[in-house]
Structure 1
């Protein structure tokens, strides 16, 4: 039963309860929830209250509604703050079926654009790491990351599938992250992106670039990754002169 005397609205209490059950594994991806009447009777609330809670959970990506069939567990957003330094592997909490797979890792000579981005001479050697991030066996993110040779000697020997490169940068190489610049754009998937992300050519993708700097304002990492747009919710909160931007990315479990 929900707390009828609580200052928190009943529909919000029901939302919190259902999300908690999804996280706890009471309901799994594809499971059909009890109907409005069943939930109303179970929690001692009105069907109108249930309807509002379910509607908001559909809007937030936790549930999907199928006319004539009912409401099903869809996926829940996994939050990535655009103001944070971490990569997507830093959101792997060990309880979700997420993975990263290395497509390639090679040494390349920095071209003009990459050299400018990393603040290095053109032609300087850089490690180029390409990975696909998946959840439940379904790819959702294509990551292209660049690491300066002189800052990360021996990096290929340390990077494997599911390795957190940020943990390596911080703990193994002693990098201190002071600032990150992130830029978001939108593109349509080409033939290569559609093949690697198992989507249809022309599907929308978020294109996100990130440059991380140390305390001396020196670029120490650059990445450019693509995320399936239907797996993301991009929100911005402005308080006074402070802007907080977040990327919520929807998971299938």
Structure 2
């Protein structure tokens, strides 16, 4: 039962109990939870309190309402490990997901603008962007910077549909030896927001990845803007894997 004497609101207590039932498998993905009337009777609370609890879980993506049918447990989001060194496309492929990644223009050798967080700032690097879409919406925008010497001639290659880790290994004989990644919340400018089909005030996960090679430290830098409303992005801890 709920504790009306506790400082935690009753709706929050009920939401926590329902969420715990979802995590434990008491309410399986796709199953219908008890109605508002049933929950109110079971816990001795009013239906507005039940509705408030369900609303909070709907906002979190744990439950969904179906008009005329009831409230159902959502399928858990796909978990994608984007952060292993074997490349972004490989992470989707290993999960058996049909994702479409397309380059937003050709690789071009350009001087990187003054960006203190970019290790290539003020130097020339090959730059390109890639957008990955699922069946319904874009989920990932990548902005990539590659060392001009290590990847000399990259702009002459057809990169359409190719894994960059495969291109690095087969054309340039490069395999990453290590790297560093930073994670933070970011908001997009108008151009990036249009590509990911979100509002500029929508928070996204931003991953900044710097890869090292035996031939040179910091030979690759990327920014990954990740939508988290359809996928859970995770990182596997342990040694480095290569494609």
Q: Which of the five TM-score ranges fits, normalised by the shorter chain?
A: 0.5 to 0.7
Give the distance between the partners of 1:172 and 1:151, measured in 2 at CA.
Answer: 11
Aligned to 1:168: 167
Give the distance between the partners of 2:203 and 2:117, measured in 1 at CA.
Answer: 29
Q: 1:90 to 1:111 in 2, by over 3 A?
A: same
Aligned to 2:71: 70
Q: 1:217 to 1:108 in 2, by over 3 A?
A: closer
Q: 1:168 to 1:112 in 2, by over 3 A?
A: same
Q: Does 1:213 align with 2:212?
A: yes
Give the distance between the partners of 1:104 and 1:217, measured in 2 at CA.
Answer: 27
Q: TM-score, normalised by structure 1?
A: 0.60
The superposition leaves residues 128-148 of structure 1 with CA deviations (integer Å, 9 ceiling, x where unpaired) of: 111111111410111100112
Aligned to 1:104: 105
- The structure carrying a bigger strand percent of its residues is 1
**Which structure has the larger Rg?**
2
Aligned to 1:90: 90
Q: How many residues align?
A: 189
Q: Does 1:134 align with 2:133?
A: yes
Aligned to 1:192: 191
Structure 2 unaligned segments of length 5 or more: list them: 1-21, 35-56, 239-243
Give the distance between the partners of 1:136 and 1:234, measured in 2 at CA.
Answer: 17
Aligned to 1:222: 221
The SS at the match of 1:70 is: strand
The residue correspondences of 1:1-253 to structure 2 (distance < 5 A) are 33-35=30-32, 64-66=63-65, 69-71=70-72, 73-74=74-75, 76-80=77-81, 82=83, 84-93=84-93, 95-105=96-106, 106-111=108-113, 113=115, 117-118=119-120, 122-124=122-124, 126-156=125-155, 157-160=157-160, 162-215=161-214, 218-231=217-230, 233=232, 244=237
Q: 1:232 to 1:218 in 2, by over 3 A?
A: same
Q: 1:193 to 1:81 in 2, by over 3 A?
A: closer
Q: Is the 8 A contact 1:78 1:91 kept in 2?
A: no
Structure 1 unaligned segments of length 5 or more: list them: 1-10, 20-32, 38-57, 238-243, 246-253
1:230 Cα shift?
3.0
Give the distance between the partners of 2:88 and 2:235, measured in 1 at CA.
Answer: 19
Q: 1:219 to 1:66 in 2, by over 3 A?
A: same
Give the distance between the partners of 1:69 and 1:197, measured in 2 at CA.
Answer: 32
Q: TM-score, normalised by structure 2?
A: 0.62
Q: 1:179 to 1:36 in 2, by over 3 A?
A: same
Q: Is the 8 A contact 2:182 2:209 kept in 1?
A: yes
